[in-house]
A and B are shown apart, each in its own frame.
Chain A
Amino acid sequence: MTAPLTPGRAVMLVARREFTTQVRSKSFAIGLLVTIVIFAIYIALFSFIGSQSSSNTLGVTSSTASLEPALQAAARAQDRTLTVTQVDRATGEAQVADGDLDALFDGGPGSWTLLGKDTVDSSLQQVVSGAVQQTTLTDALAAAGQDPAAVAARGNVAVDTQEPVDPERGQRLVLAIVVAVLLFMSLVGYGSAVAQGVVEEKSSRVVELLLSTIRPVHLLTGKILGLGLVGLVQLLVLSAIGLVGSLATGILTIPNAAAGALVSAVVWYLLGFFLYASIYAAAGSLVSRQEELQSTIAPIMFPLFIPFIFAVSVLPNDPRNTLGTILSFIPLFSPTLMPARAAMGVAPLWQVLVAIVLTILAIVGVVLAAARIYRNSVLRTGSRVGLREALRSRA
């Protein structure tokens, strides 16, 4: 029989409808599948490149065979593996054509040649030209009566850093970019799903029926919770696949940092989602038809784009960028920028905590304003409702 419907139950019922409707929709399954495939391709590509590119095969002829020690030394200096085979010119050319050799090194002083099939790997070029230059220089110095080792020592520059060099910097960078991409994707995707849901209820007029039994704030809260949960599930599934895949293939060797990045991504997703979903919902409630929605939610993309672009373009080269540090404290920018900085290992804990507190304060303010806008405009159909009017008027 009918029982009093508590606010909690009303919100739960709405959230469950949003969740099941979204999860069962074709677009959700297809979207998730496509993203997983893209992820898998990336992982496969990275591990392929990782295993392939650091080794080369080089053919030498009788005239260049003596340079092998110098070649090997130059390869070692560049962290590369070099397999050197001595062949005659004709065999070498055939093997280059077949792909058995990456390149054939021939010639003599003044006329060195490096023959590749259609291109020569730039790293291999560096190794060979480095070795040749070194040998030429050493021979010239010896001929001039100088000690090559002593000359080299004079030109040596000692490189040092004040803090210990982070050997995992490259991996942290990848983590940070992945975290920023995932958060950006989730916030934009599920934020606009909230806006679309609000407009769907307005344009189909079902909202009037709903609001005759539950309060606007419960409908809004249920919608945000339900869709937010779908976004969270997607984020977790993708992260799990990404983490397991990249740890298994050896792309990532820092499970602790990766787990930390995942936890921080989840925390920031939740904060960012409440912040942005409220704004998206308010924007959705201002219009009556899906066609009008794009122009209204476009401005919301800017505060999401700015930190995202910053995180993937500026931070990788300059993790301690001052502007980046400042921006990561601004609530609308924090959800993508702060976790990216944290994943790079350049955001101390106190910065993260301060940004979390600031974002929570912002959420309180934004949610109150958004609920007011939503309540005032969700039943108004026809022309678009002005923002100022929506904030002021009373239904």
Chain B
Amino acid sequence: MLDIGGISKRFGQVRALDHVTFTVQPGELFGFVGSNGAGKTTTMRIVLGVLTSDGGEVRWKGRPIDADVRRRIGYMPEERGLYPKMKVGEQLEYLARLHGLDAADARASVERWTSRLGVEARIRDEVQKLSLGNQQRVQLCAALVHDPEVLVLDEPFSGLDPVAVEVMSTVLREKADTGVPVIFSSHQLDLVERLCDRVGIISAGRMVAAGTVDELRTGGAERIDVSGPPPGWADGLAGVRVVESGPHGTRVELDGASDQDVLRAAVAAGPVHSFAPHRPPLTELYRDVVAAPAVTEEES
């Protein structure tokens, strides 16, 4: 289990991370979401030891992460980085060897991953001659080439075309299925919802929610989507708040009333075509959570 335990980090007067805590199980795809500057990249950099935290600890299998463990993590930095003038194959082999592979294993692994990600034809080309999408694939190869025990990917989907998004998703799922904990950050919330086992939402340096998308839904008040009755039917109904109302239906939030109360009121107002609990997508959950006044101003 990858255990991020209460890490904090300050940059001068700015509190970048405030006791950030979450865990990622082996085999789990963990989506890390938050607005720009919320602390995702800082958290990942601390996991990789590229930054040191001011407090808290990152543990893998119960032990604090040291240099040897870090070498077995696959990392894709937010700022993509490869030597522009080095050939794809040589570059990946070099990185694999820096992670401890011997020459023969490094070569075999480079062949395996470049063909898996469809860039094997470019092995002898300089990185700078590749399209951005292909550079991104090579960057993912760099994170995978040493057969990592943990994967940490900062915005792996940004800038990818739909085909590449599919390839990337499949590879991440496959890695997770082999028992590797995978963390990745993304702003594409629908993708995160579809792909991830669990999601963590960070806002202004604090984890404001973490769990499966279903778990995140349980926090809020229950909402019901009703279609059929003419618009305005729920206005003034006791114990109910109308969230939105339109020609396609009405969404109400239960505030004291039961779902059966609402159903009776709806049927009384007109024929009901559909009546179902609203399952808010991650986008909506995210908006609610991040909009909540969890943001702390800098004290001291």
Contact = CB atoms under 8 A, between A and B. Distances in A.
B102 A3 contact: yes
A21 B92 CA distance: 15
B98 interface: yes
B101 A2 contact: yes
Interface stretch (A56-64, A202-210, A315-323): A202-210
Contacts of A143: none
A200 interface: yes
By secondary structure, the B interface counts as loop
Given A2-B71, A200-B83, A205-B77, A213 B98 contact: yes
Interface residues of A, number: 28
A25 to B, nearest CB: 8
Nearest to B74: A212
Interface residues of B, number: 34
Residue among A201, A213, A215 with the highest chain B CB neighbour number at 10 A? A213
Contacts, number: 72
A208 B71 CA distance: 13
Residue from A1, A5, A21, A209 with most neighbouring chain B CB atoms (10 Å): A209
Given A208-B81, A212-B70, A3 B48 contact: no
B201 to A, nearest CB: 25
B74 to A, nearest CB: 9
A1 B82 CA distance: 23
Interface string A198-229: 00110011111111111100000000000000
Interface string A364-395: 00000000000000010100000000000011
B52 A395 contact: yes
Contact of A13 (B72, B84, B94): B94
B67 A215 contact: yes
A394 B10 CA distance: 12
B120 interface: no
Nearest to B97: A13
A40 to B, nearest CB: 31
A31 interface: no
A4 B98 contact: no
B81 A1 contact: no
A213 B83 contact: no
Closest 5 CB pairs of A and B: A205-B81, A206-B81, A205-B79, A2-B100, A212-B48
